[in-house]
Amino acid sequence: MHKRLFKKILFIILAAGAVISFLFFYSYLNSPPGTSKETRSINIITYKDIPLSTLDGFHDKYPDYKINIERYSVYGYLSYLDEKLDQDDSVDIIEIPAEAYPKYIYNNILLPITDMDAFTRINSNALDYLKRISRSDKYFGIPYQSNYLGVWYNASLFDKYGLAPPDTLQNFMDACRVFKENGIAPLSAGLADSASANDLLTLLTADAFVTAGSPVTVSSGFRNLDNPEYLDSLRLCRDIRKNGYLTETSLHMTGEQAFQAFLDSTYAMTVAPETYISMVDDSVLQQINIDVCGFYPSWNGSTQMVVGSPADSVIGICKESSNIDISRTFLDYYTRYETVFQYIEDTRTMTNIQNYSVNEKLTASWSKIKSQDCYVPSEHFYLSPYTGSKELHALPQELFYNLSTPEEFIQRAISLSQN
């Protein structure tokens, strides 16, 4: 009797085990294919903000994919990026400064991108620029931001004093002198901000460097930076404060604060890139009649060249990515027209989307600026935050603060480029 009971219990246990095994096997066969964390994620490395509205919208449309973003400082960014690419094969999308774009193509890191609707929405100047600097008919990424430099000015004041738009160094300096003589603060500048200080330095030195036979950059060790013509242009940077064209307040303002001070009608002009346009709204335009012009260095060529570049960075897909299709989808979504206005609002910046409009007058002014050939600072004289140190990028601040002479500026630049 005990034997029969034991056999019944054993039979029940074996039967239960068989049923459980069958259910587990059936469940396994009918479950969706398993994917690793990497294949269900898009891993992005960048040094700029990606707007939450874009990320949220993409997640709503593609809920199965998680977006992992690693954001680094611009200082040393390329070193961080190279180290990450060497150690981690799960990186899908990377942002690259435009000046480094050819290097990453040459090193076979970026995937050629073709047949994407995104290219129909991007300004042709930006696409042509990528082809020119890469010397290739292929695109290896999406041009991210335009980086034109504009002089924003109070058009009513310029009309009142019969001044030409400040689109050349001569016109700019004439306006500074006239406004100073009439008790009007000529220029707002965010000199507490190294990027804004570099913008002002670029504007004031462009005439001197535009005809340079070879680039005077960190990659050349700033060779020939001590030429008399370059020294004179650096003295102009020092003297702009000495002559009272820059107030002491500018030493303590960031770029955004300086632009806001201009919008508050406190100053006649400010120097700022297109990225600041999102700070201009209808309420501002009802109070102040502002306009913006490009800055055209004087040279002997037949075509005007405006200071700036059609793209300051490129977002590309790594060739080794295991998520190429969804990465292409992300870049395509990233450039969709309906996201642009929220993008501007979220990041206070601009993209290369063609049909962009915030204000009819300012849009027309920027369209004129962006239709010109470019004097690209990185191809002439440029203190790059990507290929140089933080100390190098801060040198213009020392010059405008009168903490160093033009001669000391040159020696410091040469010394820092060799470290």
Q: What is the pLDDT of residues 129-183, one digit of tens each?
A: 999 999 999 999 999 888 899 999 999 999 999 999 999 999 999 999 999 999 9
- Can you tell me the distance from the alpha carbon of 29 to that of 391, in angstroms, rounded to the nearest whole number? 60
Q: Which of 101, 97, 102, 50 is nearest to 75 (CA)?
A: 97
C-alpha distances (whole Å) from 13 to each of 6, 10, 25, 130, 159 are 11, 5, 18, 70, 97
Q: Which of 336, 364, 368, 365 is nearest to 352 (CA)?
A: 336
The pTM of this model reads: 0.85
Q: Which CATH architecture has domain 149-309+360-417?
A: 3-Layer(aba) Sandwich (3.40)
Q: Contact at 8 Å (CB) between 230 and 178?
A: no
Within this chain, domains 41-143+312-347 and 149-309+360-417 share the same CATH topology: yes
Q: Which of 90, 3, 114, 124 is nearest to 321 (CA)?
A: 90
Question: What are the boundaries of each domain within the chain?
Answer: 41-143+312-347, 149-309+360-417
Q: What is the pLDDT of residues 29-68, one digit of tens each?
A: 444 433 444 447 899 999 988 877 788 888 888 998 899 9
The number of residues making up the chain comes to 419
| 41-143+312-347 is a CATH 3.40.190.10 domain | yes
Q: What is the pLDDT of residues 233-259, one digit of tens each?
A: 999 999 999 999 998 899 999 999 999
Q: Report CA 118 to chain centroid distance, whole Å.
A: 18
SS3 at position 110:
strand
* Alpha helix ranges (H) inside 182-292: 194-209, 228-242, 255-263, 282-287
SS3 at position 305:
strand
pLDDT given for residue 30 in this prediction: 46
Query: How would residue 303 be classed by pLDDT, with cut points 50, 70 and 90?
Result: low
Average pLDDT of the chain, as a whole number = 86
For residue 122, list its beta bridge partners: 353
Which tokens belong to 211? 């005809």
Question: Across residues 327-341, what is the average pLDDT?
Answer: 79
Percentage of the residues of the chain whose pLDDT score is greater than 70: 85
Q: What is the pLDDT of residues 385-403, one digit of tens each?
A: 988 889 999 999 999 999 9
pLDDT given for residue 339 in this prediction: 63
